[in-house]
Chain A
Amino acid sequence: MRLKVAAIRFCAVRSIATICALCFATAAVGQAQLSHFPDPIFHDGYNGLDSPGTANVSAADAARFLTQATFGPTDADIAHLRSVGYQGWLTEQFAATPTYEITDRPGKTNSAYLNWVANVLHEDVGQNNRQEAWFQGALGGPDPQFPSNSAYTHTDQLRQRVAFALSEIFVISQENPTLDGYARGMAWYYDQLIKDAFGNYRQLLQDVTLSPAMGEYLNMVGNRRADLTQNVHPDENYGREINQLFSVGLVMLNPDGTPQLDSGGKPIPTYGQATITNFAHVFTGWNWADCDKNYDYPNNAPPVFNGTYSDHFTDCFSPYEEPDAFLKPMIAFDVVNYPDTGDPSYHDNGTDPVNDAHNKQLLAYDATATTLAAVNGGVLPDGASAFSDGTAAGDLAFALDNIFNHPNVGPFIARQLIMRLVTSNPTPAYVARVAGIFNNDGTGTRGNLKAVVQAILLDPEARYGQFHNPESFGKLREPLLTLTHFWRAMGAQHRCGNNIVATGNSSASMYANQPYRYAGYGTTFVTGQSTSYGVGVDQASLDAPTVFNFFKPSFSPPGEVSARGLVAPEFQIATDSIVAGSNNTFANYALYGNYDINATCDANDDFGDVVVNYAQDKALAGSANGGASDPSNRLVDAYNIRFMSGQMSPYMRDQLVSYLNTIDSSWANGSQDWRLQRVYRALYLILTSPEYMVQK
């Protein structure tokens, strides 16, 4: 069976190469045979990697780089990148002030968006507000609290883009009914991803593990040592998924990310059920921060919380008493706490002869002798030892080190980040290069995510892969990223709505309508779908249906993609329903121009909408009365750069120009400039086209 498939692939690839040559050759012959490949005629050349000046980075290449590294290029960002070069841009981005959702800047109380909403605007913070905060970071630009203070302008596009990618690997979701009620806790989780996006993977692993939102999502919070009298055992959910999804994956990998096969040609499992069981036993004894008196007695100070202290492991339902427990790492219950001495009875450290797992064998793997000695071959000895002091925290550190040093982590994480930013089917060599940087950033450090991100974006395959594999390079754009791209490229702002400021008592029905605040109501962020217009794109931050994200890395749509042995994960959400629904959304936004920054506000609309500046491109759309004598070339070519990184095919360009040229001044709608009709239609036809939808 295998051989047969291979034979089919070979046949097809060779044939396509032949066809491609044929098409290029005939491209000039006539309109009917215009090429569907990107054409260098419409793309101003490509150039070296580390090129600081305008002379070297073309606008098209700059746009293409920004498509991979941001939430969508804007004309201003393209120009800026051209002036500083790739490396200069990366250096700026690594240094940019992070935009957090709920973590204030040092010394600036309530400077984070959700704290401002809660404590200054006195609104109840819900999931809509969390999505507003997310859009703040994703879209960038002025801060609604300090709209004229450039020190608060959000420019950390790369960090936000990487954090979003991480959120699709380390998944939690508001679809979880408990998390849905704690938007602030989810925001705090997302802030850990933002914080660690350019940090070390080991720190990220720990922050994710101890975040209460993850603890709630995958059941590590309150996970306890076995109790055989009750036939109770530790929960395996987190122990399983941290291995399967966050770090090493199910099968042993080669350094280039391809699976290791046994003599029978089958993938070699990374671990067995016993390993997962042992991890589950290690991940015990952690609970909400305020389940323990340490929360209120950090300095042996008197209590500040006027509530009931549970200080009881199994009956602690912390967030209902003190929601801020979601904003602190979970705590180990066995640490000495004032005025008590801590309770070690909920953590399995191997010392209970009846209930515990013993000398727990965690991941076993080949590594350097030094590494293997450091992790004791993956065996966590019972009680206190040279490898752990036998506390919940000590055992956890051992377990995370054990995972962190597994040779799978580099290729596993490298491949997934490449897939999120650049292309669905990286070559093994590309994965190997990035994994190598993960393993050692050049200074001997393992897990340096900043170096990994830089390696991904500056790799020759990221920059030139579209020329090497033009028929398969790239990835389907995620619907949410098409929306952010559209908004960023078209100067989106929030507008209209009534500025209703709550005083004192907070009320969810109030909405303070400040400039640059992205209202999370109405059509804007609705992620569901129906048959009506403009109901969203069926995707939002931290809103995946399961821990397996919106799509699985292994997903391959039926037909040609599968037959070629390729994957295309984003197609899992390119269903019949969603492609139609997203198309309708862009009909609403683009084709019908329904969200225009120049439109009159509806006095009865309390919340307003995100609107775009169609008129900014009027001058590109025509300079006289339209028709063929006032052609649409300039608009199409500008959009080709801004939206398609100069990769529009001659065929598509011809289709657009020919059609848009039929629009002339007779299309004016009342006082509305006829040229807007060209802008609307160009946007809709581009944003819904297969050529645009595949980021190449």
Chain B
Amino acid sequence: MAYDRRKFIKDTICAALGGASVYSAFGQMQLLQAAVRGNYRFAAGDYKALVCVFLYGGNDSFNMVVPYTQAAFNGFYGSGGVRPQLALNRAQMTGVTVLNAPSSGAGSPGDGNQYALNPVMGPQKISASGTGLGNLSADLASVFNAGHAAVVANTGTLVRPTTQAQYQSDSYDLPPQLFSHSDQSNYWQSSPPSNLPVTGWGGRLADMVAGVNAPGIPILLAVNGGDIYTRGQDVNAYDMGSDSATTVNFLGYNNAGNGSGLCDPAGAYDPGAVAAFCNLQAANAQANVLERAFANSMNHSIATAGIINGALSGAPAFNAHDQFPDALSTGGDLDTQLQTVAKLIWAANNNIPGYTGLSRQVFFVSTGGYDSHSDELASHGDTLPLLSRSLAGFYNALASVGLADKATAFTCSDFGRTMTSNDGGTDHGWGSHHFVVGGAVNGGKFYGNGCGFSGASAKFGLVMPSLANPNVDDSITGYSQNLNDSGDGYGRMIPTTSVEQYAATLARWFGVNDSDIATVFPSLGNFTTKYLGFV
């Protein structure tokens, strides 16, 4: 990212073009850039994986981590409270999803109240025909209370610390296009989104440490669809299905019926066809930049699929009742994705032939259904149980093979949602609560700059200041004393912890040094506390 690095690249490309007759100048660039990644070495056996769990649509975490203390619960959900239309059943939380964090001081929610998870996140009987029929599923509150999961409160996109007054002034530096799905999910993943070409912080961290891994094996993996998060400057993610990698079957057949799956005409059933196919896909040979990009996609796919499937084939099933039992639940296949990640982490730590020499990996898994404009209690009934079981199952699976401290999973989402509702749903907001899960997590606690916020309204409790204080006339319209003014009321919470602080804390655990972290997260310097200490 430094000046001299870019200069180096530019000069080298121009020099290189004088020589070999290639159509693509930039096809060479990835190779050239490989020379300038961070210089890291990790001890044998020092393996770490970051697992980003992206919840598309903007999760209403204010109905996921909720006040449990009776008075706070009443203020939140009761008549005249913040969100009476989205009230949960407190009795169902008791003894099931209540979070036993410290009641005061460090690690407490900060407002003196006790919190609980939405009761749909509690353990459930395995009812399908899968492994462990009749047993209870994994659940996140148990993992939290055992000290392996933490809540990072009211986190979101910020350029620098922001107060309500600063937000309302027209000149303050804010993330562009707040409340827009695409822009805010991009910001969460790239931090900031303005770098060119656009890269994600998962990708940039992988760039920094790529040199520690054996070449050819993906350091970055997107399971069930990638996004900006998995785009590095040098490193390109492998984008696989939820449970396996898709192979080009034409290359998988030879005279023995089981070809390499690679461009290898020798011994192929129809070597002439394989040769012609592979010549047409040859890297950087095509005349049009889009053709070269397509060939790159195809070649990357061909080269990597077999490696991944080989690694998966020997891994434990991780299908115990408290891990990933079969035929889990509605709401998507986040469970299958995390089961696959657990298998790949196992493979990286068990000397699987063709899958050795890995010290660091970054995974991206994702699930949707969180844009709860209507019927939120019902949609959360689909999405949150899956989230709870998947995150807890992931911890349990790795713990069962002694690898729990090798991986840290953490949630991200476009944005939080409004504290107010719109007849059963909520609108796009800003700050939100997130989970961090893993054996290395200093769990059972709440984290975040906002905890203990001195001016917190009694009604809002943990969730900090609203954009427009509901008790004061709004200066924009001059009309409302309520949450329905057009001047950004509605209870959109200004984040009190930034994505950069959240991400930098994870990056430091990952083993990246302070100066490289500052490079990866250019806005981090705007925040006094750079690392939150949750892992």
Contacts and interface: CB of A to CB of B under 8 A. Distances in A.
A237 B427 contact: yes
Contacts of A533: 249
Contacts of B245: 531, 576-577
A75 B89 CA distance: 66
B82 interface: yes
Contacts of A565: 196
Contacts of B297: 557, 571, 574-576, 579
B293 interface: yes
Given A233-B422, A357-B477, A563-B197, A694 B288 contact: yes
A560 B293 contact: yes
Contacts of B30: 559
A229 B197 CA distance: 48
Given A231-B83, A231-B421, A237-B427, A562 B198 contact: yes
A559 B484 contact: no
A558 interface: yes
B530 interface: no
Contact of A274 (B6, B183, B476): B476
Contact of B276 (A355, A529, A576, A685): A685
B105 interface: no
Contact of A4 (B6, B225, B302, B425): B6
Contact of B289 (A38, A230, A353, A472): A472
Contacts of B298: 579-580, 583, 688, 690
A693 interface: yes
Interface in B3-35: 3, 6-7, 9-10, 13-14, 17, 21-27, 29-30
A228 B23 contact: no
A656 B273 CA distance: 9
B484 A226 contact: yes
Contacts of A681: 270, 273
Given A15-B25, A471-B288, A562-B198, A233 B488 contact: no
Interface stretch (A6-14, A327-335, A611-619): A6-14
A552 B227 CA distance: 11
B85 interface: yes
Contacts of A242: none
Contacts of B280: 652, 655, 685, 688-691
Interface in B300-336: 300-302, 304-305
Interface string B478-517: 0110111111101000000000000000000000000000
B423 A231 contact: no
Interface in A576-590: 576-581, 583-584, 587
A529 B22 CA distance: 35
A563 B280 CA distance: 24
A151 interface: no
A560 B421 CA distance: 45
Nearest to B427: A236
Contact of B295 (A5, A223, A690): A690
A688 B428 CA distance: 42
Given A240-B428, A560-B26, A576 B292 contact: no
A7 B21 CA distance: 21
B31 to A, nearest CB: 11
Contacts of A20: 287
A223 B288 CA distance: 49
B289 A561 contact: yes
A250 B183 contact: yes
Interface stretch (A98-106, A276-284, A506-514): A276-284
Interface size class of A (residues with CB under 8 A): 35 or more
A659 B273 contact: yes
B244 interface: yes
A568 interface: yes
A337 interface: no
B181 to A, nearest CB: 7
B248 A583 contact: yes
A310 interface: no
A575 B290 contact: no
Interface stretch (B62-70, B172-180, B405-413): B172-180
Question: For B57, B248, B421, B486, which residue has the most chain A Cβ atoms within 10 angstroms?
Answer: B486
16 contacts: A36-B287, A222-B423, A230-B85, A233-B421, A233-B427, A269-B177, A274-B476, A274-B486, A548-B181, A560-B29, A577-B239, A580-B248, A584-B248, A656-B276, A681-B273, A691-B286
Interface of B: 3, 6-7, 9-10, 13-14, 17, 21-27, 29-30, 56-57, 82-85, 176-183, 195-199, 222, 225-226, 231-232, 236, 238-241, 244-250, 270, 272-273, 275-277, 279-281, 285-298, 300-302, 304-305, 368, 371, 373-374, 418, 420-423, 425, 427-428, 476-477, 479-480, 482-488, 490
Given A2-B196, A562-B196, 7 more contacts: A4-B6, A231-B82, A235-B422, A277-B490, A531-B249, A558-B199, A580-B247
Interface of A: 1-2, 4-5, 7-8, 11-12, 15-16, 19-20, 22-23, 35-38, 218-219, 222-224, 226, 228, 230-237, 240, 244, 250, 266-267, 269, 273-274, 276-278, 281, 314, 353-355, 357-358, 360, 424, 470-476, 529-531, 533, 545-548, 552, 556-566, 568, 571, 574-581, 583-584, 587, 591, 649, 651-652, 655-656, 658-659, 662, 681, 684-685, 688-691, 693-694, 696
Q: Closest 5 A-B residue pairs measured CB to CB?
A: A560-B26, A562-B197, A576-B301, A690-B291, A575-B239
